[in-house]
Amino acid sequence: MTSPSTTLSLVDTDPAELAVDAIVIGLHSQTGEQDAAGGPAGALLLASGAESIAAAFDGKLTETLALLGATGAPGEVIKLATLGTVTAPVVAAVGLGPEPTGAAPAPETLRRAAGSAVRALAGARRVALSLPLPDDADAADALRAVAEGALLGGYRFVGYKTRPQPARREPVAEVLVAVPEAGDATARAEIERAHAVAGAVRLTRDWVNTAPNLQRPPVFADAVAEAARAAGLAVEVLDEAALAAGGYGGILAVGQGSEAPPRLVKLTYTPEGGGSGKRVALVGKGITFDTGGISIKPAQGMWEMKSDMGGAAAVGATMLAIAALKPSVTVTGYLPMAENMPSGTSYRPGDVITMYNGKKVEVLNTDAEGRMILGDAIARACEDGADYLFETSTLTGGQVISLGKRISGVMGTPELCERVRTAGDAVGEPAWPMPLPDEVRKGMDSDVADISQVNAGMDRAGHMLQGGVFLREFVADDVAWAHIDIAGPSYHSGEATGYWTKGGTGVPVRTLVHLVEDVAANG
C-alpha cells in the first residue's frame, strides 16, 4: 500500500494574493521587539514572509492569534478564517519558537514547522507556505528544509481500512513554497532534490508500515528489486539456494525457522565515467518480522517488530534517491532479509554457525539475529570492495535505553562516526558516537567458536556496544565503517509531531544521502 503523493513547487506571487485553500505563515513566541505589523513590545512576533498578510489584517493579526490561544511554541498550528481579507480562506500560523538573534530559524525548526502545518491542514487540497527564508548563503539549506518538511508532513499511510476515510483527513495534495524568485535555478534544484529525498523517505515509511504478513522476505525482495530496476540500478537477488551455495550461514540460520525463505538483495549505482573512484557500501538489516525466534520476545509490543526491516528499507530507498541525484561515486546497497520465527527448524541457542567470511559464531540468543544477517552482508560488501561502509539497523534495545527515541547510536571508525554525527546534525537526524571497549569484546569470547553473539557475562550491560563489537569482526581492516543503530528513531509509536507521523519515520535515509554526497564531493 503506497501513501498518497504530495507535489511541491515554487511561487513568487504576493502571499496575500495566492489562490490556495490555506496560507501558512510563521509565528515567533513573545518577544520584546515590535512584530512585522508594528505591534507592541511583548506581543507575538510574525516571522518574515508574513508582511503582506499582516497588512491585510490592518495590524491586528497577532492580536487575533493571541486571542485564539497562539503562543508561537515550535510546531503549534493556529488556524484563522480570513473572511476575505486575503485570497486564501484560511491563514495557518505555525510556531517557530523565539526569534533567533540576527538570523533566520534553524533549518530543522523550519522543517518541523512545515511538516506540522501541512499535516494540520489535511483536507485542504492546495496550500502555500510563506515561511522565513534567508537571502544569504543559508538560503538553499532553509528552502531544502521547508520543502522536505512539507513533503514528509503530508505523508499518511493508506493502510487497509475497507471504509473510505472522510475527505477532511485526506493529505494536502499540492504545496506551493513562496520564494523571492520562483525561476531561480538553485531554488528549483532544491525542490527537485527534495522530491527525490523525501520520496525515498516516504517509500521507506511505506515499507516499514506494511503489514508483516504481506511483506515476508521474498515479497520484500521483489518489491525492492522492482523499484531498483525501474530506477536504473543494477540488481542481484540471492535466494535460499544461492545463499546456501555461497556460504551465507548467518542469513540462512536466522531464516531457517520460517516457511518464507531469506534473501540477499544487492543494488548497485555506477556514475557515468566512473565518478571519483571511491566506493561506498550501504548495508541495512531486513528482518521482516522478529519474534525473537526460540528466545521469544514478550507479547507486549511485539507487533512493532514489523519495523525490524527499517534498516533495509532505508538502504533500498536511499539507493533510489542516489539513482535520481546521480552523485559522482559508486554506491552499492546490501539488504539481507529474513523472518525470525520459532519452529522445529529454527536455529537454537548453542548452535555454531559458519559465517560468510568463515568465522564460527556461537549462538547464545536467537533474538540477537540482526547481527547474524548483517555479519554476512558486511563481509560480502568488503569482499566486493568498498572504501567506506555505512550499515544501519534496528539492532538493539540498548540504543533506546542509552540515547532515547530520537538519537541514533554510531560505532565504528572514529573519523567516519564523526562524519555521521555531522551529517545527522545537518539533516535533522541526530546521531551520537559511542565506544567499542575491549572489555566488551573480551566477554564475547566463546569456548567453542571464534566469537559468541552476545556478552553473556554482561547480559544487558553495554547492549548497544555489544552489537557494534560483533559487527566489527566482519569488517575488512582496510575499510572505514560506521554502524548506525536506529532501534528508536526508525519507528515512532507516539502521536504525530513535526514531520514525523505515527509509524515508520524513514530515518536515516537523509543522513545516508548526505553522507554519499559528502564522499562524492570530499572523499
Which positions are catalytic?
297, 371
Q: Is 502 annotated as a binding residue?
A: no
58 labeled part of a ligand binding site: no
Bridge partner list, 90 = 81
306 among annotated binding-site residues: no
249, 305, 461 from 286: Cα distances, Å = 16, 11, 25
Helix, strand, or coil here: 299? coil
Radius of gyration over every alpha carbon of the chain, rounded to an integer in angstroms: 24
What whole-number distance in Å separates Cα of residue 228 and Cα of residue 129? 33
The 3-state DSSP class for residue 500 equals strand
- Around Cβ 163, how many Cβ atoms within 10 Å? 5
Omega prior to 508 cis, within 30 of 0: yes
DSSP tag of 259: S
- Ramachandran assignment for 521, one of left (phi > 0), alpha (psi -120 to 50 degrees), beta (any other): alpha
Q: What is the dihedral of CA 111, 210, 288, 441, to 10 degrees?
A: 20
**Is 290 annotated as ligand-binding?**
yes
Give the span between the Cα atoms of 120 and 114, in whole angstroms. Answer: 10
The residue ranges of DSSP E strands in 163-269, in sequence order, are 174-178, 234-238, 263-269
Residues whose CB is less than 8 angstroms from the CB of residue 59 and which lie 6 or more positions away in sequence, other chains included = 37, 38, 39
What does the buried/exposed string (b/e) look like for 308-322 if buried means 16 or more CB atoms within 10 Å of the residue's CB? bbbbbbbbbbbbbbb
Q: Is 442 annotated as a binding residue?
A: no
Cα angle 147, 152, 154 (rounded to 5 degrees) comes to: 100
* Structure letter (DSSP) for residue 262: -
Annotated binding site for Mn(2+): 285, 290, 308, 367, 369
